[in-house]
Amino acid sequence: MSNKVIYAIYNDDDVLMDAVKQTRAAHHHIEEVFTPFPVHGLDKAMGLAPTRIAICAFLYGLVGLSVATALMNYVMIEDWPQDIGGKPSFSYIQNMPAFVPIMFELTVFFAAHLMVITFYMRSRLWPFKTAENPDVRTTDDHFLMEVAVHGNEDEMVTFFQNTGAVEVKVIEKH
């Protein structure tokens, strides 16, 4: 089985967007698109599913709120209750209004830090990872669309040249 892909290189983001739409309409599978900057609407044009990071952020915030509640209850009520400003230390509920800033801060802390860790793990961005960019021009001013070759290779090359690509290459991937 062949692992060939086509690298269609574009020099304009509007031309790239039109090419992505034409490629999807022609039922070719787009493996990846490399761009030097974020292109608005590219994810929808490629047909990518919406991200679920907001759900993770909410769950991580709940973890932070739970840790804050458990920590304050243990430290300020159970372990070493103190009379600070005449406030009763008999129950957590009586002191909860004083604990709201700490609950907020730990909610934000856990959500932010765990979201960053989740993002790096999900996108497989490890420390000291080598770049997977197939063409160095995509970090400057060009856009590259990687499409799997299924069927007639010459016909696909002609198709991508007609979409406005400035360069079309067929590459054997390992």
Query: pTM of the entire structure?
Result: 0.72
pLDDT of residue 8: 95
Taking CA atoms, 42 is separated from 18, 39, 88, in Å, by: 10, 6, 57
Q: What is the DSSP letter of 56?
A: H
| Residues in the chain, pLDDT under 70 | 1-2, 88
> Which amino acid is it at 54?
A
Q: What is the pLDDT of residue 2?
A: 63
d(CA 21, CA 48): 13
Q: Strand pairing partners for 33? A: 145
Ranges of each domain in the chain: 4-49+131-172, 53-122
Distance (Å, rounded) from C-alpha 135 to C-alpha 100? 51
Would you mind telling me the total number of residues written for the chain in this entry?
Answer: 174
pLDDT of residue 116: 93
Q: Is the dihedral of CA 128, 43, 138, 6 positive or negative?
A: positive
Rg (C-alpha) for the chain, rounded Å, is 26
pLDDT of 11: 93
Q: In this predicted model, what pLDDT tens digit does every residue of 125-164 receive, in sequence order?
A: 888 888 888 888 988 999 999 999 987 888 999 999 999 9
Helix (H, G, I), strand (E, B) or coil at 131: coil
Q: What pLDDT does residue 3 have?
A: 85
Strands 143-148 and 167-172: unpaired
Provide the CATH topology of domain 4-49+131-172: Alpha-Beta Plaits (3.30.70)
